[in-house]
Amino acid sequence: MLEPSYRRQAVYYGLLFMMLMVLVPRAGHQGDIGYWANWASYILEHGLGNTYADPSNNYNPFYHYILWLFGKLLGNAERIRSYINSLKGFTLLFDFAGAIWAASLVAQRNRRFELSLLLLFNIAYLYNTLIWEQVDAIYTFWVFGAVVFAVQRKPVLSVMLYVLALATKTQAIIFMPPLLLLWLPLWWQRPQWIWKSVGAAALTSLLLLAPFIWGGTKNYLPHILDINRDAVDYAPVVAVNAYNFWYLLFQNVDLRFVSDAQHFAGLTYKGWGLLLFFGFSAITLFPLLASAVQSVLKWPRTQIRLNPGPSIELVLLSCVLIPLVFTFFNTQMHERYWHPAILFLGAYGILTRSYWLYILVSVAYFLNLESVLHFLKSKPYTITIMQPWFVATLFGLIILLGLVKLYASVKWPWTALPEPSASS
């Protein structure tokens, strides 16, 4: 039985959930919503295992389970189309779960409910789900859980959640480097965790893919692999409405119609974007790399428990910067690719009580989304703060400030930890 205070909080969460679903009017990206209605109807008629027989289907497997459930609940194609905007309720559950999990990281239980509202009352956090009606909150939740479990020294659970993230959205791949830097010291400490992690990843993948391998008229695994391979260059343009670095270089140009295969100084725009992304990612992840190397080289396995590893605050801030530099420097970026930074920054702010970076990212993300969708229909979208160059400048400033904050907060492992005893 839940304690009375938890029961009250559950009621409050339920009321807030229903209010958000009822009061936020229909908007959304009609193209994607139309696809989801078609896919849900197709799954209802032909079965989950045959969903990839629809040639328009280019989503990874996990979301099709939600479409299957949505279709089962509604029962027919006509009702699916009539209530398709209610589909966002499934994604909203992941928004709530992420906010609650982030707030649960603080030790004081009596503060957790109110701290979760810092995310659930943030229009930038919910805009992507409620208004844009996209599904990035789902893979963001899985990645967040994978990172938290890795910090808590639970690599098997961490790997399982990361597989779910990849099975939801291909761009979850950008979190593999920080997660590897968290997993490797744990695997070195206990080699049996390697095989357990590999086994857990294989089992999770098998369970997810089973309907699409054996449950349809053919094996659709090659098609799923093609979807992930073709995710790169799906939109080979400089930007797809993400107001990033490229908007600082091009003025008064619609970058959705500029090919990223054009050359500058011997490299394509895409090549320059990747070079900058990898360079800034290396800078971002260096503290985690230093911690991982120090754990493996300096500490014998018999004394590994003396090494607490990187702090959760350091890990969260590193995972904030990864999606920011990914979206800021790469070509082909959509406006919603900033999304994971909000949850990680919310958790970081909750733990450190430092919210200014969280506020800045929320403002920049909201401005980018709203300047594309025009949901609020406020008068002048030509004002300075709505201009792509302004939003891009704000994101660039946030990245620089985040890096300064990251390195200022580092307790370098070779100075912060005790030396192993000579007897070991």
* 305/398 Cα distance (integer angstroms): 35
Backbone angles phi, psi at 265, to 5 degrees: 50, 40
Domain ranges of the chain: 1-144+209-231, 232-413
Percentage above 70 pLDDT, the chain: 93
pLDDT at 416: 47
**Tokens representing residue 270 in the block:** 């895409």
* Alpha helix ranges (H) inside 86-215: 88-103, 112-120, 123-130, 136-151, 155-166, 176-189, 192-214
**Got the DSSP string for 72-119?**
HHH-SHHHHHHTGGGGHHHHHHHHHHHHHHHHTTSS-GGGHHHHHHHH
Our CA dihedral for 296, 297, 302, 304, rounded to 10 degrees, sits at -50
pLDDT at 316: 97
Taking residues 90-101, what's their average pLDDT?
98
* 205/209 Cα distance (integer angstroms): 6
pLDDT at 301: 56
Which of 30-34, 75-79, 183-187, 396-400 comes out lowest in average pLDDT?
A: 30-34
pLDDT of residue 415 exceeding 70, the answer is no
Give 99's contacts (C-beta < 8 A, 6+ positions apart). Answer: 116, 117, 118, 119, 120, 125, 343, 346
pLDDT digits (tens, 9 = 90+) for 157-193: 999 999 999 999 999 999 999 999 999 999 988 889 9
The dihedral sign for the CA sequence 276, 279, 283, 285: positive
Helices 192-214 and 176-189 sit at what angle, rounded to 10 degrees? 130
User: Do residues 140 and 340 lie in contact, with contact meaning Cβ atoms separated by under 8 Å?
Assistant: yes
Q: Give exposure, 38-70, as e/b (b: 16+ Cβ within 10 Å).
A: bbbbbbbeeebbbbbeeeebbbbbbbbbbbbeb
User: Do residues 131 and 172 lie in contact, with contact meaning Cβ atoms separated by under 8 Å?
Assistant: no
pLDDT of residue 421 exceeding 50, the answer is no
pLDDT digits (tens, 9 = 90+) for 12-70: 999 999 999 988 876 777 778 999 999 999 999 999 999 999 999 999 999 999 999 99
Task: Give this prediction's pTM.
Answer: 0.93
Percentage above 90 pLDDT, the chain: 78
Residue whose structure tokens are 């620089």: 400
Instruction: Report the candidate in 80, 77, 32, 72 with the shortest Cα–Cα distance to residue 56.
Output: 32
User: Do residues 291 and 186 lie in contact, with contact meaning Cβ atoms separated by under 8 Å?
Assistant: no
User: Do residues 223 and 52 lie in contact, with contact meaning Cβ atoms separated by under 8 Å?
Assistant: yes
